[in-house]
Amino acid sequence: MHTVWKGSISFGLVNIPVKMFTATEDKDIRFKYIHKECHSPVKYKKVCPVCNKEVQPEDIVRGFEYEPGKYVIMSGEDFESLQVKSEKTVEIVDFVKLEEVDPVYFDKTYFLAPQETGGKAYTLLREALGQKEKIAVAKITIRDRESLAVIRVYKNVLVLETIFYPDEVKDSAQVPGIPENAKTTQAELDMATQLIENLTTAFDPSKYLDTYREKLVELINAKVEGKQVVARKEVEKENVVSLMEALKQSIQMSKGTNKNEKDKDTDKTDKSAKNVKNHKKDPVSEVENSDSTTEEKPKKRTRKAREKVES
């Protein structure tokens, strides 16, 4: 992993030297804009519409539009006067419960690892957070900008997650079209809760795949190899108008899914039982197969990242 930040966690009078690594990566497939005629990448130029000429980087300044067509110009000195002093420190200010922080506040996740002399203090903070079941609210300066963050335990690693400030989270009351007085029947509610129960399972992130990206990669590879690409015809879904009928059909489908999963588990159990019997009957085959190994496929992880941090 590439280190994106080095500093220390300020925990009371304790300083924990740490290194920071990005915990997620953007798996989106990037495309370039190509000229249709000659298949060359398109270049963009910065042009002033008034002077009708290309503008060089040294002639560009930043401005804020405070009224339509009116700008206040900000110089480099203006920004330097506002810069937060970078102390390379993650300053813990509070400890709270994880469930008190709604996921809407979370932005970007980083792994924290101790530097050469911070192993014991790192372990102390990790174990203390785990024992008290708390997370730390902290402030960190990244690229001359102070960010709010939380530190929590993920498996056996401390992770730092930058979070949005309260005024950066929009008020949910502004969302249009949210029903206020819509009424549901008890029968509809019972069927909806039954459907939820039928589909409830333990969270296994490895079973959720980015099928769009997989199909896109297959399509790109097929074009590279010169294969003819044929669009797959999708089966049209039946249009169910009644809410009750939709719930009934959904419950039946969920029962079928659960039954198939149980049948698969039963088949695995039966096969395992047969294998045990075969091993008991034929001790020679047990010796012959003792060196066999099973290769496990690596799990896929996806997630979008919005912020890049320079070391």
Output the pLDDT for position 240: 56
Residues 160 and 193 in one domain: no
Enclosing domain of residue 204:
186-227+246-271
Residues 132 and 9 in one domain: yes
Residues 107 and 139 in one domain: yes
Residues 144 and 263 in one domain: no
Residues 116 and 158 in one domain: yes
CB 194 within 8 A of CB 244: no
Residues 9 and 102 in one domain: yes
CB 138 within 8 A of CB 90: yes
Q: 3-class DSSP state for residue 89?
A: strand
Q: Tell me which residue has tokens 């690594």.
A: 21
Question: Does residue 180 lie in a domain region?
Answer: no
CB 8 within 8 A of CB 90: yes
Provide the CATH number for the domain around residue 121: 2.40.290.10
Query: Going residue by residue through the chain (311 aa), what tens digit of pLDDT does each one get?
Result: 899 999 999 988 889 999 999 999 989 999 999 998 898 999 999 999 999 999 999 999 999 999 999 999 999 888 888 776 667 899 999 999 999 999 999 999 999 999 998 999 999 999 999 999 999 999 998 877 889 999 999 999 999 999 999 999 999 999 999 998 888 899 989 999 999 999 899 999 899 899 899 999 989 998 888 876 666 566 566 665 677 777 777 787 877 665 555 555 555 445 444 444 444 444 333 333 434 333 444 444 444 334 443 43
Number of domains in the chain: 2
Question: Does residue 11 lie in a domain region?
Answer: yes
Q: What share of the chain is helix, strand, coil (3-state, %, to 5)?
A: 35, 25, 40
